[in-house]
Structure 1
Amino acid sequence: MHPPEAISDHHQHLALVHGATDHPLWSKTLGQVVDEQAERLGEKTVAVLPWQNVRISFQQLAARARRFAAGLLRAGLQRGDNIAIMAGNRVEYLEVVIGGALIGCPVLVVNNTYKPWELRNALHKTSCRMLFLASTIGSRSMVEHFQILTSPPDMHRVVMLGDGDCSAIPQVQSYATFIANSKSLLADGVLQQAMEAVEPSEVLSLQFTSGTTGEPKASMLTHIISNLLNNARFLGQRMELTTNDIVCCPPPLFHCFGLVMAFFSTLIHGGTIVFPSDHFNPDLVLDAITQEKCTTLLGVPTMFIAEMEANRSRGYRLTTLHKGMIAGSPVSLPLMADIQKHMGIDGMVIAYGMTETSTITFSTSLTDSPENRAKTVGRVMPQVTAKIVNPRGETVRRGEIGELCISGYALQKGYWSNELKTKEVMRVHDDGVLWMHTGDECLIDEDGYCHAMGRIKDIIIRGGENIFPAEIEERLLLNPGLGEASVVGVNDSKYGEVVGCFLKGVDGYTMADNEIKDWVRSTMGTAKTPQHVFWIGADGVCADFPKTGSGKHQKHLLREMADELLGHRRLCKDTVARSES
């Protein structure tokens, strides 16, 4: 099924688009969806976690979620009490998210790269009463995280996931003990009564913004009309997901990509989802694809690049993949061609959104041309309205650049306990409609496709001229020798800012700086030509791009790094340490 075309505004010249409305919004809770799928699909496998040696069916998932919800009630939690989880992609994660939703306990999904003090601050900021914390994430021990939480004033207890020994840590119990305590509530109707009290408009998930440009804020996302299930449902339609699809999901569950775009979409459309490892490991992704015969692969561009690099030595013939989805950053034509050639993925959906709009508001379709996938983020999603505005708040014309604003069911309820920040980005315009100001510089073309130019804060102002990093990154990535590129503004005494670029070559390949400059200048002119070129892994430059836990380049750290390098002070090691948080 191909997605319906977006309905254009009657003022064709305005950069204002309305998503299709032929699929009415659902008014369901996550618990209702899980129960419906369990009844419909029964023992069909819903999730595979090879690294845990776990396969669970739709029926088993529903039962395990109920068991978890009963454990929360047994522990004294009630509807509206926040809980949290910090872990890799593991089966307990699914139980915590669904189980919390069953009785109206919002779940804070914590970035699994957080340092101990960041975890503690996140829990206190959101008034969480219980934390489910993995004993390890990848090869990293979480002992220090447990130690800093031994006497949390705002939580009843900490529960350990995994095989760690919690006996020596005060106020920590094992997940097995927590679950064992829930059995008595499953038979006496207490759980059912608590489930029936949950409203679809209640907060389902608390998700911190990724923090690529500043301090993260906790976004409140709900079961329905505002937000997650409908978004996952519509995205699955764009992906043309069916019960026959086996979706491989390397992105983390703490991010909207893993939780909403991957897990919820697969659950709603009756497919099977595979989580190859608790944290991203390209070799285990390749193993999972071949062993489980995955049809669909999801990830950010850096994940696809790493998987193809790993397969050069592994030599797998990836014959079962035929579609995929990329989000998080632009995708170049050469990368698209490599994915098709080396991974067999013919249909690729490019998705755009943000946590606050839960999560995707624009996407391409499987049948869009390679050019539209590389140069745009597609057309507006169903039941969503979008427009481009100038600094005065006026809607601009098609083809003009401005700030993207979103309205409709997908908007968050707001930032948790942060009314000031909420009002800064969520504003009622003269039309009486509440709009989310995304902070992204975009344009909408005559065909309704959205072109994302980058974050407004990332715009480079060179001598009064606005320069959009995405344009230069697109040009750089057309060079076959370059695998990754990130363009930032670098302080300059003459122009205020000039263009700097951080580059990573394919298989360690590098070029002379002048070659890079000539490559850009030949099509884009002098102002957009990088004045400073930094090679990832070179002397004084970090071994890899500083990234968020979901794989996005952290440009504010790259800007700091460039200024430090040009000032002959090398704080690269410290910058990387901060980027891991």
Structure 2
Amino acid sequence: MADLSIVHGSEEAALWPKRLGDLIEDQANSFGDRIAVITPWQETRLSFTDLAESSKVLANAMVRADLRLGDCVAVMAGNRYEYIQVFLAGGRIGCPVLPINNAYTPVEVLRALQRSSCKLLFIASNIGPRSLSAHIQNLISSYSENTLPDLSGIVGFDVSQQNQYVQIQGYGEFLATGALDEDENGFLESAQRIVRPLDSLSYQFTSGTSGEPKLSMLSHRGLINNARLVGNAMRLTPEDVVCCPPPLFHTFGLVLGFLNAFTHGSAIIFPSDTFDAERVIDAVSREKATALLGVPTMFVAELEVCEARKLEITTVRTGLAAGSPVSETLLTRLEDRFGVKGMLIAYGMTETSPVTFMTSLDDPRDKAMASLGRVLPHTSAKIVDENGAIVRRGVSGELCTSGYGLQKGYYNNEAKTKEAMRLDADGRLWMRTGDQCYLDADGYCHISGRIKDIIIRGGENMFPLEIEERLLLHPAISEASVVGVADQKYGQVVGSFLKLATNQSQPPDQEVRDWVRAELSWHKAPQHVFWVGVGGACPDFPKTASGKHQKYLMEEIANEALFGSSFRAMELPVRLGYSIFA
């Protein structure tokens, strides 16, 4: 078995059997008035006791709003302290919390609420400089027209300040309905008592293995233990201060950021509601942060700020990089400029709560720089060929993982759940990652390619099929294929290969982008547009004998067209700890 590509993590330390409500009370009892959450942009500092008390009041307000075990609560907002309160309150009473992507258009938000059978929505008026007025107006119209039959209420974090949406209840007003002296009949206590560790704590939209967005159901047991084990690898203690620029709508920000720090009694800083490199550096300096989280594009921007200010950061001892490829050069710059003794790499996917492989502070430099690390405790992994047989060490195949962190399945999608999660002959359940990897002799995982057809722009996963379907609705486009094009800043950006419909004039590239942005998030619009046909990027779409588009050939055409002979000499990110942002 030693030469086969299957590994099992340590099981020495037992998993916690806790629900989130148990964890909240335990941490309040242990750490009390120690600071847990800092949001400098809101001038707010909350202790562990503050979080316990406010989440209990908010949970009671949810119960009084007729929410029950299993009812979905959604949030669309930037990194603000109220986001944490909603997550904790929902967890207390067994209401899974669905973080909504901040880049979603009004149409995408509506679809997300419909697909999740959302019962209660919390939403901000703005996220950074971006107004959500169009989203809110669309929600109000849909709510009135009963196209959101499950939705019973909308709560605005800051709309009460403007008093312009009479259909939306202000957050403060909603919170006031949860005054604990009104729980005379013990409804909150009853709601908390029936929650179980294997109940869903969070819903997350994810690419899965097919590129079609699905709703992953993640349990209290999976998320709490994954956060705890990642923090153990970072050696977090109550003396640590974690700076977390990644957004809370991703598992990176919510689990590897907040929940990670919370399980270890560490403080966490959310420097701004949306990423701002200047504010990150200000927060790190002011709060003397000891750990810094981020994706490569964030680290690059932060390094530029430090270099412009001629500032040396000396307090950061460790950090966590995930979400997209990380180059060795970038890791070295972080060590030199921030004085980081060990920048760790995490790999996983949303469906696994999320981390399965991670580097260690004790790893030899070559392993720390050129691998995804080794499997986490209480987790197993194997590499299989196309027939499902385990391959030898050093041989590439599809990575499959198993253990406590596996999702409960995809919400209302049994077919896709069975496709992604499979029992082996011994009755063990495995998750197919869709990633092509190999295990070396020491058990370190290396990515050798991608099986799933997905584009990863700065840690954000995008589904080509979704973009292609939108492009094909344009009257001038008869055929479309979307691929990932190399980019030194983001790793990949969207590129589209398009064929004109008969008797149509070629529209300007900007018109194509605007067409996509009218229905989809702005970052899904193609940054590069290539036309197929006489005089175009290629005479026809490269295809297999069966007529399928050969996307790898289109990627080569695009990269050669953009970078020429210099493309193969470019230093592009090489580490693929990317599915964290699935």
The correspondence of residues 266-415 of structure 1 with structure 2, limited to 5 A, is 266-415=261-410
Return 5+ residue gaps in structure 1 as ranges: 1-10, 461-475, 504-510, 521-529, 531-547, 553-581
| Structure 1 residues 349-374: Cα deviation after superposition (integer angstroms, max 9, x where no partner) | 10000000001000001122332223
What secondary structure sits across from 1:149 in the alignment?
helix
Match of 1:88 in 2: 78
1:194 aligns with 2:191: yes
Contact 2:55 2:86 in 1 (8 A): yes
Matches within 5 A, 1:137-148: 137-148=127-138
Q: For 1:416-459, what per-residue CA distance to the aligned partner results, in whole angstroms no more than 9, with x for missing partners?
A: 11111111101112232111001010001100000022420359
8 Å CA contact 1:331, 1:374 repeated in 2: no
Deviates more, 1:426-435 or 1:132-141: 426-435
Please say if residues 208 and 433 of structure 2, whose CA atoms lie closer than 8 Å, have aligned partners that are also in contact. Answer: no
- The structure-2 alpha-carbon separation of the partners of 1:211 and 1:428, relative to structure 1 and needing over 3 Å to count, comes to closer
Paired residue for 2:469? none
> Does residue 178 of structure 1 match 2:234?
no
**Inter-CA distance 187–309: structure 2 relative to 1 (3 Å threshold):** farther
CA RMSD of aligned residues (A): 2.7
* Shift, 1:82, TM fit: 1.1
Q: CA deviation at 1:346?
A: 1.6
| Counterpart in the other structure of 1:500 | 556
Q: Distance in 2 between matches of 1:178 and 1:488?
A: 41
| CA 187–313 in structure 1, closer or farther in 2 if over 3 Å, else same | farther
- Give a deviation string over 1:49-71, Cα, whole Å, max 9, x none: 00000001000100010010011
Q: Name the counterpart of 1:555.
A: none
Q: Map residues 152-171 of structure 1 onto 2, 5 A cutoff.
A: 152-162=148-158, 165=161, 167-171=163-167
Q: Which residue of 2 aligns with 1:561?
A: none
Conserved 8 A contact 1:166-1:173: no
Going from structure 1 to structure 2, the CA distance change for 1:501 and 1:131 (only over 3 Å counts) comes to farther
Bigger mean CA deviation after superposition, 427-436 or 128-137? 427-436
Runs of 4 or more consecutive aligned structure 1 residues displaced over 6 Å after TM superposition: 487-492, 548-552
SS class of match (2:556): strand
2:212 to 211, 215, 219: 215
**Equivalences for 1:427-446 in 2 at 5 Å?**
427-446=422-441
Distance in 2, matches of 1:145 and 1:515, equals 43
Give deviations 1:221-245, integer Å, cap 9, x for gaps. Answer: 0111xx1111111111111111111
Q: Which among 128, 133, 137 is matched to residue 123 of structure 2?
A: 133
SS in 2 for 1:457: coil
Task: Give the alignment partner of residue 26 of structure 1, picking from 13, 16, 21.
Answer: 16
Answer yes or no: is 1:513 the counterpart of 2:564. yes
Any conservation in 2 of the 1:131–1:158 contact (CA below 8 Å)?
A: yes
- The 3-state SS of whatever aligns with 2:325 is coil
Q: Distance in 2 between matches of 1:299 and 1:501?
A: 31
CA distance in structure 2 between the partners assigned to 1:427 and 1:221 by the alignment? 17
Matched residues, percent identical? 47
Paired residues of 2:354 and 2:580 also in contact (CA < 8 A): no
Q: What residue number does 1:53 align with?
A: 43
1:153 deviation in Å?
2.5
- Listed one character per residue, the Cα deviations across residues 87-127 of structure 1 (whole Å, up to 9, x for unaligned) are 11101111101101111111111111111111111111111
Aligned equivalents of 2:363, 2:207: Cα separation in 1: 29
Residue pairs, 1:249-260, within 5 angstroms: 249-260=244-255
Shift of 1:348: 1.2
In structure 1, distance between residues paired with 2:423 and 2:579 = 33
Deviation of 1:485 after TM superposition, in Å, equals 4.1
Give secondary structure in 1 for the equivalent of 2:380: strand
- Checking the alignment, whether the CA contact within 8 Å between 2:322 and 2:580 is kept in structure 1 is no
SS of equivalent to 1:287:
helix
Question: 2 CA distance for matches of 1:80 and 1:448?
Answer: 39
* Letter of the 2:394 counterpart: G
Residue 127 to residue 485, structure 1, CA distance change in 2 (3 Å): closer
Structure 2 Cα separation of the partners of residues 518 and 155 of structure 1: 53
Q: 1:165: how far off?
A: 4.8
